[in-house]
């Protein structure tokens, strides 16, 4: 049986998402897959990587990002959208400024990566001749305000990026990652009334009660959390590692380890969101 191949792409700021990507990689290697492991950064030399970027050459495509202000990182948006992340808007504005007739004409996105070997007949038209690798999207996020509702849009956005390149997305994974924003206080520590980035211990305490204490089965006591995702400081930790590894094992075994080597059809999704 031919070795399976995965293109595992992710962006990261503080390495939480990278931890998940590395746990995924460990599992692919355990199952004997070839892994193309790629951190997507703001300034990529796409041309030198191009030979390894064609989705056509892989069985599975993974795309991961942390969440910033509700969206994937700019590096991901720029690499996968058709001109989002500023380029299109800027072009429209420049056309208006120059009083051009067709002010809303879409800009041509800057030359970046090319994800498929064969071009569609025209931009935006599906290419029915493409093979369709399966896909997985993943994120780490703070979710300190509302929990998993905060990660759904980003997962869907990244899913769209893959779907528009003829990838059938069959998996979604998210887990908490240590927060550095307003919800980034140690569990049980009373947060400040106003959050000042870089000075989060300064100012007066928020006007809330002391955290309740909870008694565990062994009699030890732990404080309640002021934010969603209990003890976010420790994440992604051992528990998230187990979830990430179990998730990707399910994807590999259920979709790819079939009796005849043909992947199962992309009718269902494997979802691990917490």
**Residue 180 makes contact with ligand FMN by CB under 6 A:** yes
The residue within the footprint of ligand FMN, chosen from 177, 225, 226, 244 (CB under 6 A), is 177
Which among 250, 62, 247 is positioned nearest to 169, based on CA atoms? 62
Q: Is the peptide bond before 236 cis (omega within 30 degrees of 0)?
A: yes
The residue within the footprint of ligand FMN, chosen from 135, 142, 191, 263 (CB under 6 A), is 142
The residue within the footprint of ligand FMN, chosen from 4, 159, 165, 178 (CB under 6 A), is 178
Contact 188, 224 (CB under 8 A): yes
The residue range among 111-119, 122-130, 179-187, 243-251 that interacts with ligand FMN, by the rule CB under 6 A, is: 179-187
Q: Which is nearer to ligand FMN, 69 or 110 (CB)?
A: 69
Q: How many residues bind ligand FMN (CB under 6 A)?
A: 22
Q: In what order do the strands lie in the sheet with 134-141?
A: 34-39, 5-10, 60-66, 134-141, 168-176, 270-273
Q: Which is nearer to ligand FMN, 59 or 150 (CB)?
A: 150
Give the nearest distance from C-beta 136 to ligand FMN in angstroms: 17
The residue range among 60-68, 109-117, 158-166, 243-251 that interacts with ligand FMN, by the rule CB under 6 A, is: 60-68
The residue range among 37-45, 103-111, 142-150, 242-250 that interacts with ligand FMN, by the rule CB under 6 A, is: 142-150
Contact 151, 273 (CB under 8 A): yes
259's CB contacts (< 8 A; 6+ apart) are none
**Residue 179 makes contact with ligand FMN by CB under 6 A:** yes
| Six-digit token string for 50 | 């191009």
CB atoms within 10 A of CB 218: 5
Which among 11, 30, 50 is positioned nearest to 248, based on CA atoms? 30
The residue range among 62-70, 106-114, 218-226, 255-263 that interacts with ligand FMN, by the rule CB under 6 A, is: 62-70
| Six-digit token string for 130 | 């493409």
Burial class (CB in 10 A: 0-12, 13-18, 19+), 251: buried
Contact 139, 155 (CB under 8 A): yes
* Helix (H) or strand (E) segment spanning residue 219: none
| Six-digit token string for 160 | 């769209």
Q: Which is nearer to ligand FMN, 4 or 235 (CB)?
A: 235
Give me the 11-30 binding string for ligand FMN, x by CB under 6 A, dash otherwise.
-xxxxxxx------------
**Residue 240 makes contact with ligand FMN by CB under 6 A:** no
Give the nearest distance from C-beta 32 to ligand FMN in angstroms: 27
Q: Which is nearer to ligand FMN, 15 or 192 (CB)?
A: 15
Q: Which is nearer to ligand FMN, 71 or 164 (CB)?
A: 71
Nearest 5°: phi and psi at 54?
-70, 120
Which spans of this chain sit near ligand FMN (rule: CB under 6 A)? 12-18, 66-70, 140-143, 150, 177-181
């Amino acid at each position: 049986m031919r070795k399976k191949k995965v293109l595992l792409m992710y962006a990261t700021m503080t390495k939480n998402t990278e931890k998940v990507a590395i746990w995924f990689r460990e599992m692919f290697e355990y199952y004997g897959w070839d892994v193309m492991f790629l951190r997507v950064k703001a300034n990529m030399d796409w041309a030198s990587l191009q030979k390894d970027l064609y989705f056509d050459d892989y069985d599975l495509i993974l795309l991961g990002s942390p969440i910033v202000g509700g969206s994937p990182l700019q590096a991901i948006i720029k690499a996968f959208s058709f001109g989002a992340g500023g380029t299109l808007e800027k072009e429209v504005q420049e056309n208006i400024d120059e009083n051009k007739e067709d002010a809303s004409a879409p800009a041509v996105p800057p030359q970046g990566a090319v994800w498929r070997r064969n071009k569609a007949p025209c931009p935006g038209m599906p290419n029915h001749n493409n093979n369709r690798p399966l896909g997985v999207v993943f994120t780490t996020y703070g979710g300190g305000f509302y929990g998993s509702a905060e990660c759904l849009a980003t997962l869907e956005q990244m899913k769209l990026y893959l779907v528009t390149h003829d990838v059938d997305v069959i998996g979604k994974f998210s887990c908490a990652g240590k927060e550095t924003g307003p919800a980034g206080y140690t569990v049980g520590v009373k947060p400040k009334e106003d959050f000042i980035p870089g000075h989060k211990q300064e100012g007066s305490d928020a006007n809330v009660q002391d955290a309740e204490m909870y008694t565990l089965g062994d009699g030890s006591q732990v404080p309640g959390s002021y934010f969603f995702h209990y003890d976010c400081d420790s994440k992604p930790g051992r528990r998230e590692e187990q979830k990430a590894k179990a998730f990707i094992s399910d994807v590999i075994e259920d979709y790819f380890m079939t009796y005849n080597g043909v992947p199962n059809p992309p009718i269902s999704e494997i979802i691990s969101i917490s």
